[in-house]
Amino acid sequence: MSGTASTLRKYSVELAWGAFAALNFAAMPFTGEWETVPFHFVWVSLTLVYGFRVWRLWPTAGALSAVVLVSGVALVAMSERGQVSAAELTEVPLMAAMFVAMVWHARRRQAALEELRRVTERERDFVRDASHELRTPITIARGHAELIRAAAESDQIVADAEIVLDELSRLERVAERLLLLAAVEHPGFLRLSLVDVDALVTETGRRWSASATRAWRVHADAGGLVYADGERLSYALDALIENAVKFTSNGGAIAIRAWKAGDAAMIEVRDDGPGVAPEQSGRIFERFAGTRGGGGTGLGLPIVKAIVEAHGGSITLHSSVGAGASFRVRLPGFRPQAADFRVAQARDAA
């Protein structure tokens, strides 16, 4: 019984269309001067259903043949009774030809989308594999560079080894970020749980404000929770703050805050740096498109965007040249912090 119900649900659109078509064909002899209206209803509905389903070749051919046969027989019978002109019969091959043209375009589009999916998967696999392969040579090279630095008797050799180690660290960050980007579309990318938005922002601000070279302002009064991956959100928030630090001079101000906006939690990272030029703002979240001031890997902000969107949220940039930059993250599904959650939180902290 359950198998029958499942089959009916699977083909519910086709069954509904079949009933609709049968009713229209049955109504054709009784519609007077509007006798061809049901005929056109059948063809238009067939086109609409196919546009949603894009059946395989044989089911498509079968449906088309059935409609051509039934509509042709109906029009022939009506023509013999004098209900329609014989010229109406030309509509059958005409409508069939239009449907075939639509089928051709739909199948071309489907093939193009499938090819795009395969290319995307190949690119994702390549990025993941390349990132994994980079780790071993980077680790080996780092070990040798550290040995050279430790054994060096010349200041110049020490300085050169430091440069090599810095570049290897940069390569490690690129590899890690590429792996993260490759994992974004994986079903297990997020491990969801209830996350206290204020606690996340406050803890992140506490870690970063240990740097006395910036003026830090942290304010969190969302007063609630989101169903999210706390580790991924923390990574995204760190990336936004790292970006703000990079473009804020010593003594500059960086503000981190969280608040409630309707059914969403908002998190903002704002700096008083040089801002973002209009020609850059439209591409700043694109992969490898560069950073606000040039340099960098061009992966930090795209990773933030990918993590936020994986949560069903969005990120926006508000900036102008010379007036700093503000990145605002919107996370849906906000819920006020329940009393029992606060009790459990206090118990865990004890």
pTM of the model: 0.58
Predicted pLDDT at 135: 76
- Residue 339 in this model has a pLDDT that exceeds 50: no
Q: Contact 194/227 with Cβ under 8 angstroms?
A: yes
- Residue 91 in this model has a pLDDT that exceeds 90: no
Please report where in the chains the tokens 């009933």 appear, as a residue: 19
Following CA atoms 290, 293, 297, 300 in sequence, which dihedral angle do they give, to the nearest 10 degrees?
Answer: -90
Query: Across residues 50-56, what is the average pLDDT?
Result: 80
Instruction: State the Cα–Cα distance between residues 103 and 108, nearest whole angstrom.
Output: 8
Query: Across residues 16-36, what is the average pLDDT?
Result: 78
- Residues whose CB is less than 8 angstroms from the CB of residue 80 and which lie 6 or more positions away in sequence, other chains included: none
Query: Across residues 302-306, what is the average pLDDT?
Result: 90
Predicted pLDDT at 349: 55
Please report where in the chains the tokens 């560079």 appear, as a residue: 145
DSSP 140-196: HHHHHHHHHHHH--SHHHHHHHHHHHHHHHHHHHHHHHHHHHHHTTSTTS---EEEE
3-state SS class at 189: coil
Tokens of 126: 């390549």
DSSP state of 11: T
- Which position has the higher pLDDT, 171 or 271? 271
The model's pLDDT over 207-265, given as tens digits with 9 standing for 90+, comes to 998 776 788 999 999 999 999 999 999 999 999 998 898 888 888 899 999 999 999 99
- Residue 290 in this model has a pLDDT that exceeds 60: no
